[in-house]
Amino acid sequence: MTTHYTIGDAARESGVKVPTIRYYEEIGLLPAPHRTDGGRRAYGDEDLRRLAFIRHARELGFEIDAIRTLLHLQDAPDQSCAAADAIARDHLASVERRIASLTALRAELQRMVEGCAHGHVATCRVIEILADHGACAHHQRADA
């Protein structure tokens, strides 16, 4: 027998907020749930598994379109996983680009903070670098 959950129960069990569940239904990531005689949404165990899948994919930074594709793949388990691998590989490359950018940003901020003499704003290295884009070492490397 399938357990039926209200939308509030589904939210608590899955860790996905009620408005987000409704949004996922609206955009087709989650099928429209069965309705009770009183018109209330009734979710089953499979809906909760799907919500958990979506939540985990979102936590890992996957975009909605990628999740949609991954869900379609999950719904057809006998096919090749090449498409899922390609999606994960593309996402990994994107994450690596962001990490490189954040690493450079951290280095620039460290350079700004370490260059601060704790004097007056007129001689403040942080203000100087922010005011003069050319003084930013991060952008000098990116332009090269």
| Tens of pLDDT, residues 8-66 | 999 999 999 999 999 999 999 999 998 888 889 999 999 999 999 999 999 999 999 99
Residues 44 and 32 in one domain: yes
Residues 27 and 55 in one domain: yes
Residues 102 and 42 in one domain: no
CATH code at position 23: 1.10.1660.10
Residues 64 and 124 in one domain: no
Residues 66 and 105 in one domain: no
| Tens of pLDDT, residues 63-115 | 999 999 999 999 998 989 999 999 999 999 999 999 999 998 898 888 877 77
Question: Is-contact 20 14, C-beta < 8 A?
Answer: no
Residues 62 and 19 in one domain: yes
Residues 120 and 142 in one domain: yes
Residues 114 and 71 in one domain: no
Q: The pTM is what?
A: 0.75
Give pLDDT, residue 2.
64
Give pLDDT, residue 141.
55
Residues 91 and 75 in one domain: no
Residues 37 and 97 in one domain: no
Q: Compute how many other C-beta atoms are within 10 angstroms of the C-beta atom of residue 104.
A: 15
Q: Which of 62, 79, 96 is the last residue of a domain?
A: 79
What is the identity of the amino acid at 67? I
pLDDT of residue 128 exceeding 90, the answer is no
Residues 62 and 108 in one domain: no
The stretches of the chain forming alpha helices (DSSP H) are 7-14, 18-26, 45-59, 64-75, 82-114, 125-131, 137-143
Quote the domain boundaries for residue 107.
83-144
